[in-house]
Amino acid sequence: MYINHTRYVVNAYLAPAKILICNKCYRLGHFRKQCKHNGYVCKDCGEDVNDIKNHKCSFNMKCIHCHEAHSANDMKCPVLRAYRAELTKTLLRNSAGFNSQFQYSQGDFPAMSDNNIPSSNVICGKIAATSNRLDELDKSLKAMDDDINKIINMQKQHDMSRKKLDQVIMKLQLNISDSNQKIASLQMECKLFKALASNVIIPLSTILVNNLINQFTHNSSVPSEMGVVEINKIADWLLKWPKLQDDLNKELNESYGLRVTGQNSLSLTTS
């Protein structure tokens, strides 16, 4: 036989001999359908039973062929090995007779003509075409590699820009937070000054003005009854001043982490 202008010798293929083992009685040389044995044989313990499905095997291994401690279909069994060897010899004898009857005729397998054999120029041309194709593929792969490197560099630049943008956003958020705290501080200071002005400064100013008017008009140094009432109100409100500061401290701590410094001070600091 010639394959790609090379001659090969052909021999008959002989497959390894296979042994027929019945899976009902585990005897040799027949199938289950041809089995004439009544009942079933356990391949492990070798016991003959009527119902193999309900059989409770003792797993005391005993081959029904050689009575050794292995299953009945174990190919290590000497009986099975001897049977297989004899079967193989028989097949070899039969195949030898077949090969002796075969006669080789060169006319049945003529050699290829020169027209069917490609010339060296054709072969070289195909090799050159294949080489050119490989070069084109190599160029394409290099171009793809360059594109991938460009994409990687663009990704790195994007990551750096994103990092810078995140830093700017973080700074803006910190500035906004500081501004909110300052606004809250100013609002609290205004609230304190308003309370102090409406409850202390304005009433005291009113009393002083009234006393001055009384002194100029009546020439009296004794405060009027209205002035006494106002002074009592101011005194009562000043007693509430520490509690007002405590309430403001609590509100500032809960909202912005700020506190009023000192018992009688209006300045605010961050805690």
Cβ burial of 41 (10 Å; 0-12, 13-18, 19+) is buried
pLDDT of residue 148: 93
Mean pLDDT of the region 173-190:
84
Instruction: Locate all alpha helices (DSSP H) within 8-119, ordered by sequence.
Output: 78-101
Helix (H, G, I), strand (E, B) or coil at 78: helix
Q: Is the pLDDT of residue 209 over 60?
A: yes
Contact (Cβ atoms closer than 8 angstroms) between residue 204 and residue 238: no
Q: What is the mean pLDDT of the chain?
A: 77
**Domain-embedded: residue 77:** no
In a domain, 68, yes or no: no
For 14-55, what is each residue's pLDDT tens digit?
Answer: 666 788 899 899 999 888 889 998 889 999 999 999 988 888
28: β partners: 21
Higher pLDDT, 13 or 181: 181
Confidence at residue 180, expressed as pLDDT on a 0 to 100 scale:
84
The DSSP bridge partners found for residue 268 are 260
d(CA 253, CA 268): 11
Band the pLDDT of 263: cuts 50, 70, 90.
very low
Q: Which residues pair with 21 in a beta bridge?
A: 28
Q: What is the pLDDT of residue 69?
A: 92
List % helix, strand, coil for the chain (3-state, nearest 5): 60, 5, 35
Which tokens is 230 given? 């106002």
pLDDT given at position 155: 92
Q: Which of these, 194, 224, 198, lies nearest to 211 by C-alpha position? A: 224
Interacting residues of 185 by C-beta distance below 8 A, sequence separation 6+: 252, 256, 258, 268
Q: Which residue has the higher pLDDT, 42 or 206?
A: 42
Range of the domain at 212: 137-270
What percentage of the chain has pLDDT greater than the value 90?
24
Please write the tens of the pLDDT for every residue from 122-177: 777 788 888 889 999 999 999 999 999 999 999 999 999 999 999 999 999 998 98
Looking at the domain assignment, is residue 263 inside a domain? yes
pLDDT band at 112 (very low <50, low <70, confident <90, very high): low
Q: What residues are paired with 101 via a beta bridge? A: none
Q: What are the structure tokens assigned to 154, written together?
A: 């663009």
Task: State the total domains in the chain.
Answer: 1
Q: For the whole model, what pTM was predicted?
A: 0.33
Query: Which residue shows structure tokens 């009544």?
Result: 38
Confidence of residue 96 (pLDDT cuts 50, 70, 90): low
Predicted confidence (pLDDT) at residue 120 exceeds the cutoff of 70: no
**213-237 average pLDDT score:** 61
Six-digit token string for 8: 């090969």
Among 61, 33, 31, CA closest to 46: 61
